[in-house]
């Protein structure tokens, strides 16, 4: 990433300066580099050597298939060997596979996740929002949200825990129905002809091109008919909170529970690792409801309740006794 020539290549890609053919071939080349098994098959000594020398040998070993013609030309002269070396450094540093490399080159590109029947898949979006994608569903979303609204598209059913951000509304498109929120939790179930939205916490608005806007509050739900282009509040809520949140880690309420038992729940929900620096912390009891709270908010609540302090570094969290002032 420190190599100016590599940055130039990435900038050209982002600005669309590469032709369509070159862009496709670049992505194909990255795809060819994304052979995890090929890389892992390298001897440890060769991996270490690749950190300081032998970049071309490493690339040749990883890239078992021929590189596209245009990309081959990009990396044939001495000047471009430096770019190849920088790419190899990126690979070794952790940007090993195609998706990771494309996250650097095109961070706002759309990607998708799908779930199979009877299975719930969890995904934490770039803003910290959590999506529990339920069976036979699909979510399309940006790898990284830009500076405008946070927009995703849903087919099927999902439970959303949206991170609060008043400056950047969160929008979910289900067919012609748009659900807009600032920070809340709710469930959306779409069959293609009908979409049902149930609010657990916060406030959301529903809108569609041929219908007016409807506001939903906690414990309220509404149904949108695609053929009729009409939204109507449901006066008899058919789905309970238990039904909507079943199979997720949404419920984070604790009553006199040891921190040692609370931590694994937090780790599982937010995909993090929490290190309790002082063994005595493990037996502290806590009564709190972290449901629908962000990771940072959860750690702040724990710290305030038990006179602790925490540090978040990426996916690792250190929880320790507060220093005496």
Q: What is the DSSP string of 175-231?
A: TTEEEEESS-EEEEEE-SSEEEEEEEES-EEEEETTEEEEEE-TT-EEEEETTTTEE
Q: Enumerate long-range contacts of 135-140, CB under 8 Å, 24 or more apart.
A: 138/112, 138/113, 138/114, 139/112, 139/113, 139/114, 140/110, 140/111, 140/112
What is the DSSP code (8-state) at residue 130? E
Q: How far from the centroid of its chain's Cα atoms is residue 301's Cα?
A: 24
Cβ proximity of 135 and 115 under 8 Å: yes
63 by DSSP, 3-state: which? coil
Q: How far from the centroid of its chain's Cα atoms is residue 289's Cα?
A: 24
Q: Is the pTM of this model over 0.75?
A: no
Q: Which residues of 47-60 are buried (b: 16+ CB within 10 A; e: fewer)?
A: eeebeeeebeebbe
CA 135, CA 117: separation in Å to the nearest integer? Answer: 4
For residue 212, what pLDDT is reported?
84
For residue 269, what pLDDT is reported?
94
Q: Give the model confidence (pLDDT) of 116-151 as tens digits.
A: 998 999 999 999 999 999 999 999 998 888 777 899
Q: Where are the alpha helices (DSSP H) in the chain?
A: 4-15, 20-33, 36-40, 44-50, 55-62, 69-74, 78-93, 98-105, 241-245, 259-270, 295-306
Residue 50's alpha-carbon distances to 6, 88, 131, in angstroms, are 18, 8, 39
30 by DSSP, 3-state: which? helix
φ/ψ region of 251 (left if φ > 0, alpha if ψ in -120 to 50, else beta) reads beta
Mean pLDDT taken over the chain? 77
For residue 143, what pLDDT is reported?
83
CA 199, CA 186: separation in Å to the nearest integer? Answer: 4
CA 68, CA 83: separation in Å to the nearest integer? Answer: 16
- String of DSSP letters for 269-298: HHT-EEEESSGGGGG-EEEEE-TT--HHHH
For residue 96, what pLDDT is reported?
40
Looking at the DSSP bridge assignments, the partners of residue 222 are: 197, 233
- Extract the residue ranges of the chain whose pLDDT is less than 70: 1-108, 237-238, 325
Work out whether strand 316-321 and strand 273-276 pair parallel, antiparallel, or are unpaired.
parallel
CA 298, CA 250: separation in Å to the nearest integer? Answer: 13
Cβ proximity of 216 and 180 under 8 Å: no
What is the DSSP code (8-state) at residue 35? -
Taking Cα atoms as reference points, which of 130, 171, 167 lies closest to residue 150? Answer: 171
For residue 10, what pLDDT is reported?
57
Both ends of the chain: CA-CA distance in Å? 41
Cβ proximity of 56 and 84 under 8 Å: yes
């Amino acid at each position: 990433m420190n190599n100016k020539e590599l940055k130039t290549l990435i900038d050209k890609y982002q600005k669309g300066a590469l032709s369509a053919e070159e862009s496709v071939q670049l992505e194909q080349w990255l795809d060819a580099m994304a052979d995890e098994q090929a890389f892992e098959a390298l001897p440890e000594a060769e991996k270490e050597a690749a950190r300081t020398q032998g970049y071309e040998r490493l690339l040749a070993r990883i890239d078992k298939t021929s590189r596209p013609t245009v990309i081959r030309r990009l990396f044939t002269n001495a000047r471009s060997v430096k770019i190849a070396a920088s790419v190899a450094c990126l690979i070794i540093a952790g940007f090993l596979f195609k998706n990771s490399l494309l996250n650097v080159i095109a961070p706002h590109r759309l990607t998708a996740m799908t779930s199979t029947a009877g299975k719930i898949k969890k995904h934490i979006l770039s803003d910290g929002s959590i999506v529990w994608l339920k069976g036979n569903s699909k979510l399309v979303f940006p790898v990284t949200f830009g500076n405008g609204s946070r927009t995703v598209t849903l087919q099927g059913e999902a439970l959303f825990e949206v991170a609060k951000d008043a400056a950047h509304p969160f929008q979910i498109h289900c067919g012609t129905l748009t659900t807009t929120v600032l920070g809340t939790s709710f469930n959306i179930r779409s069959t293609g002809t009908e979409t049902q939205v149930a609010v657990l916490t916060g406030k959301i608005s529903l809108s569609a091109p041929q219908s007016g806007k409807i506001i939903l509050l906690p414990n309220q739900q509404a149904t949108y008919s695609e053929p009729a282009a009409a939204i109507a509040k449901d006066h008899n809520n058919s789905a309970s909170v238990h039904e909507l949140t079943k199979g997720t880690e949404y419920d984070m309420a604790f009553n006199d529970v040891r921190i040692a038992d609370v931590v694994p729940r937090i780790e599982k929900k937010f995909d993090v690792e929490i290190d309790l620096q002082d063994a005595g912390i493990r037996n502290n009891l806590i009564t709190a409801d972290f449901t629908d709270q962000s990771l940072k908010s959860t750690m702040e609540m724990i710290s305030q309740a038990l006179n602790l302090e925490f540090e978040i570094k990426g996916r690792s969290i250190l929880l320790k006794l507060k220093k005496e002032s």
